[in-house]
Structure 1
């Protein structure tokens, strides 16, 4: 089974997704501050209000939240109701896509976060609609793993992925290089020997836009799909989903136009 991204909407670094894409996915201007005070910026109810316009009642809504919201798990589970349980941290994007594939039903993936900006905050929310199809993304291999003490053996996951795909065309990496998200990967670079060649393209999609928090994980998947659709790459891709959460996600996909 393959999957088509049929619709995308949201706000990245305070700007509509349509504005970001009209600039080719590159924002030269600074992020726009959100009109919310510090006391409400990370409050679950305030984040839920930001999310509300993007919630759909006719499909499963797979909700991805910042790792810091794990302390409010019960609150978010009550909001989700009988739908899929909310996930915390970027690796939950890979897990949601994996579970979505198992159900073989249309779904909406949602992520929301607020990232510190000077003395304020910038808004980020993204919604992606996925539909089973004959063309589109195919999930070749996917793994989500993690330990509560944070000592996940990322190296073992990378070695398995390298064995399954010794020479992917592109690797989508977490973060924007300067925000420290990639630093968790550095101790395991030795496990990426077959991915270190000059023919492998390393992409940091968020670096073109600005800090997005956990929403950046969902944006990387959007950027991957757009790259395939536009012909920027044609062969197998790897995508790494990791941040401060104890969970790490790693997926291999290909695309049929």
Structure 2
């Protein structure tokens, strides 16, 4: 039970159909997912730490801006309360996450590893734990976790991100087993190489280093490509569960084979 939250009082009303919380909504795939769902007429509660970017997105799309840190228990409790008072949701989309550093394990920075675990794993867990009573009560709830192909195959320099995404992948699998009896479907979308304005830059801390990640790759995925898959996965009839979706650009045959043109 989440600290400070009365989970027995969080049933979603019938009006919550086609309503979603989307985390990580201030940039990249999260922002694109808010746009994609709003285009389809969903009520969307856009969640991220950067209030200014959320407000701009809300003004443009009609989403509801709810600034919050998904790793903070008090913020999660407040978020649950605000969403409940606004009518509730039937879908939770956990996109908040990220990578820091590309060090080998021998040179691992404890702070980077702790941050990645907090954001990718504990952040997802805290949102799921808070909203599950609501998703169960609505009768046809959905949880979608955005993981990564880094959670399927390890690579040199990826130990911390691999560890976090492997853990998030395992969390998602356990949740699917636990929640089937409550008619909550659990979806995992695992992208490979996606070009966004901030992911590689935040990871490597340098614009030139970030640019090299995508150098020569003719068509990496875009945030909109992934958001369209997310939109489809949560919009199909509820009895259809797209358990695990791996999405890569054609130029990336695996984590270890990427076609780069001169």
TM-score, normalised to structure 1, is 0.30
More relative contact order, 1 or 2 (CA 8 Å, 6+ apart)? 1
Structure number having the greater helix percentage: 2
Bigger proportion of residues as strand: 1
In the superposition, the TM-score normalised over structure 2's length comes to: 0.30
